[in-house]
């Protein structure tokens, strides 16, 4: 009985954690289906930059390269790299901005502060920040 418990503790628990991490990294399949209705025009990028500066820089930094975090809030991710733990499609990014990032909502929802067309502008702006 004790060996079964220890096996579950040392094999099952890490496996369960790994499985939940993989699920997080996959993003949101339903949001992934959503297409960006706003073209990435210079006007959209300018509007997205304004909204980003107003609402996002305090956590993600002026250039979107992430923040340092603190004792209460983990560091905000770098939005200029290729690693996107919560999905990398325009629809998933839109959903993260609008609805926040569950389960802990370390990124709070902005859907009540930023209108949908402006969120799409932010998505376009974030895309423009990608390291080449």
Q: Which of 61, 99, 104, 106 is nearest to 79 (CA)?
A: 61
Whether 38 and 124 have beta carbons less than 8 Å apart is answered as yes
User: Burial level of 97, CB count in 10 A (0-12/13-18/19+)?
Assistant: buried
What is the value of pTM for the model shown? 0.76
* DSSP class of 103: T
- Provide the token pair at 63: 């250039």
Domains along the sequence of the chain with CATH: 27-128 (1.10.760.10)
Whether 51 and 120 have beta carbons less than 8 Å apart is answered as no
pLDDT in single tens digits along all 132 residues of the chain: 555 444 444 444 444 443 333 334 458 899 999 999 999 999 999 999 999 999 999 889 999 998 787 777 788 889 998 878 888 899 999 999 999 988 877 888 999 999 999 999 999 999 999 886
Alpha-carbon distance of 80 to 72, in angstroms, equals 24
């Amino acid at each position: 009985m004790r060996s079964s418990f220890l096996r579950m503790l040392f094999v099952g628990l890490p496996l369960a954690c790994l499985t939940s991490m993989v699920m997080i990294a996959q993003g949101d399949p339903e949001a992934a289906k959503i297409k960006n209705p706003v073209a990435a025009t210079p006007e959209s990028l300018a509007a997205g930059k304004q909204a980003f500066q107003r609402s996002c820089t305090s956590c993600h930094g002026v250039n979107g390269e992430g923040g340092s975090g603190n004792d209460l809030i983990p560091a905000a991710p770098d939005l200029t790299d290729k690693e996107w733990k919560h999905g990398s499609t325009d629809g998933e990014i839109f959903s993260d901005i609008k609805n926040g990032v569950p389960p802990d909502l370390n990124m709070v929802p902005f859907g009540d502060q930023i209108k949908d067309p402006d969120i799409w502008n932010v998505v376009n702006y974030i895309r423009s920040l990608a390291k080449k």
